[in-house]
């Protein structure tokens, strides 16, 4: 294999090793300014947007043990990788796509499982992890408060009324 090809494959492999997910996009209509804006929006999630050659991605994905993505490797391809919050990245991509109408999600892989563009849109609609955590804590405290009210009512019922002075 030529050194240039090996370099490209190693570069793509390096991108894929950055996270447990990868989102493949078609960036045909994207301008350089739009790509820069997308990268800026992905930065808070510690995610990256990289243009890749389909042939290099194919070899790197196979070496990483990713599912078969052959049907999605046509046309211009860019990958989104990195960060620890795939739902946040999906939200950012969905918002960017809705605003710009210049990027198309082809497919994604999360924990080595294939996800369609529709699956990724559903992932984007989920509340953030912090919001889910606060909802769960709210449920716990609500149940605890209800239990305390029941106990308090029982104690008040069993206590004799205080005599009037």
For the stretch 27-76, pLDDT in tens is 888 889 999 999 999 999 899 898 888 888 888 888 888 888 887 888 88
pLDDT, averaged across the chain: 84
How is residue 64 written in tokens? 């990483």
H-type helices in the chain, by residue range? 3-16, 32-42, 54-64, 86-100, 117-125, 129-158
Report the C-alpha gap between 102 and 31 in whole angstroms: 9
Fold of 3-125: Alpha-Beta Plaits (3.30.70)
CA–CA–CA angle 123, 87, 143 (5° rounding):
85
Hey, where are the domains in the chain? Answer: 3-125, 127-165
């Amino acid at each position: 294999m030529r050194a240039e090809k090996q370099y490209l494959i190693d570069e793509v492999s390096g991108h894929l090793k950055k996270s447990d997910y990868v989102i493949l996009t078609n960036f045909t209509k994207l301008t350089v300014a739009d790509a820069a804006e997308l990268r800026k929006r992905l930065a808070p999630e510690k995610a990256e947007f990289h243009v890749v050659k389909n042939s290099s991605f194919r070899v790197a994905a196979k070496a990483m043990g990713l599912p078969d993505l052959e049907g999605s490797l046509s046309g211009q391809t860019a990958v989104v990788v990195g960060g620890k919050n795939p739902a946040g990245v999906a939200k950012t991509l969905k918002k960017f796509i809705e605003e710009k109408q210049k990027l198309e999600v082809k497919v994604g892989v999360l924990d080595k499982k294939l996800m369609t563009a529709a699956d990724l849109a559903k992932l984007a609609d989920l509340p953030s992890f912090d919001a889910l955590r606060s909802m769960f804590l709210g449920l716990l405290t609500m149940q605890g408060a209800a239990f305390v009210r029941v106990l308090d009512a029982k104690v008040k019922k069993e206590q004799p009324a205080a005599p009037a002075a």
